Amino acid sequence: MDDVDHDLLAFMREAMGLTAAVKKGPRETGVLESARYIFDNSIDIALDRDSVVQAAESIYNSIRLKSYSTQTWSEHELHPKAKNENTLNFIFTMDVLNFSFWSEKSEDKRFSVVYNGKKYTGYWSLVALMNRALDEGIPITCPFFVSDPDICPDSLLEYVFRSDSEERIPLLQERITCLRESGMILCERYDGSFANCVREARHSASELIMRVADDFPCFRDEFRFEGRNVNFYKRAQILIAGLTDIWACFNSTSYGSFYDISSVTMFADYRVPVILHSMGCMMYAPKLEGHIRARKPIPSGHPWELQLRGTTIWCVELVRREIEKNHPGSKINAILIDFYLYDTAKVMEEQGEDMIPTHRTRSIWY
């Protein structure tokens, strides 16, 4: 029997008038619904309810003690201190390029950038190279500049992305393509200013996520899973609400004021599944676990990868609901839970804790 096409069924129900009236207002991202569907149809990953309940209490107490908030954004030496439209273009450019920094090489050999005498790897290497370019008079955050190959040839962008170690930045050509394409779209549709896109969303995080995903292909991570379209919009969400981005930069004011910020889910990538697995919340089928422990690659869009990402989102949502049930009024959302889990996993990794490795998927989506 052929697989059921859920999207076709939804279309037929709508055509026959069997669906509810279309809701007016900001569009919903559908990320949480996609995650629930993936979890419900997953055969390689399961969740342990008791561990989720225990994790929720532990996470709640830790977040309270560490006082996670948006106020730390501009405190980092690499982040811009101004709160204006130029900063929005900096953030936009940063998230156009913010993907796939993992490396199989040792810390001294992996891609790195030395800026102001300090060595940076991972995400921070990107922020460092952007600052380095601006210091050198290369307007890397200007969409009119990066979208024009005559004044900004590939050779110049390769120079901007240069490494201070033996490893080149991963997916160099993909980064150049994303930068040019996004710059061109920003010029054509928003007069070269991401602030115009933010304004059109009218302080709705979900609407802004959908605008970014609709208008900029490199933010549109959509896939097919078990007869249904699913989406994650990881980088679109982190652009709007990540610890390093608009909501955090503007500290919930001005361009960063979103009345529906809690509609944003956690950001499904590599590290959070590791800590949830270590906490006993996520359990893998032996074949999948063996594959990950052997550090074998998983292609982007593979059912294993979609299950990893979708189940992680749903697990964090269950943790959030448990916290909300036991501690009403705590205002702890999925974003703050993600911050805590990501940072905790990174610390455990640096301390050499015995954890399952991060899964190896090389893509532009995270």
- What is the reported pLDDT for 279? 96
In a domain, 175, yes or no: no
- What is the reported pLDDT for 74? 52
Question: What is the C-alpha separation between 255 and 240, in angstroms, rounded?
Answer: 10
- What is the reported pLDDT for 17? 58
In a domain, 148, yes or no: no
- What is the reported pLDDT for 87? 87
In a domain, 93, yes or no: no
Question: What is the C-alpha separation between 366 and 362, in angstroms, rounded?
Answer: 8
Contact 215, 185 (CB under 8 A): yes
Residue ranges of the chain with pLDDT lower than 50? 1, 21-22, 73, 243-244
- What is the reported pLDDT for 262? 84
Q: Render pLDDT for 125-156 as a digit per residue (tens, 0 to 9).
A: 999 999 999 999 999 999 999 999 999 999 99
Question: What is the C-alpha separation between 17 and 288, in angstroms, rounded?
Answer: 42
In a domain, 158, yes or no: no
Which of 269, 338, 343, 354 is catalytic? The answer is 269
- What is the reported pLDDT for 69? 59
Q: At what angle do helices 172-190 and 85-96 cross, to 10 degrees?
A: 140
In a domain, 159, yes or no: no
In a domain, 321, yes or no: yes
- What is the reported pLDDT for 14? 58
- What is the reported pLDDT for 243? 47
Question: What is the distance of C-alpha 14 from the center of its chain?
Answer: 32
316 lies in which domain range?
Answer: 25-78+204-351
In a domain, 116, yes or no: no
Active site residue 269: yes
- What is the reported pLDDT for 328? 94
Q: Render pLDDT for 238-262 as a digit per residue (tens, 0 to 9).
A: 998 754 456 655 655 566 578 888 8
Question: What is the C-alpha separation between 163 and 119, in angstroms, rounded?
Answer: 11
- What is the reported pLDDT for 1? 47
- What is the reported pLDDT for 260? 87
- What is the reported pLDDT for 21? 47
- What is the reported pLDDT for 349? 86
Query: What is the DSSP track for 15-58?
Result: HTT-SPPPPPSSPP--HHHHHHHHHHT-SSEEE-HHHHHHHHHH
The structural domain count of the chain equals 1
In a domain, 137, yes or no: no
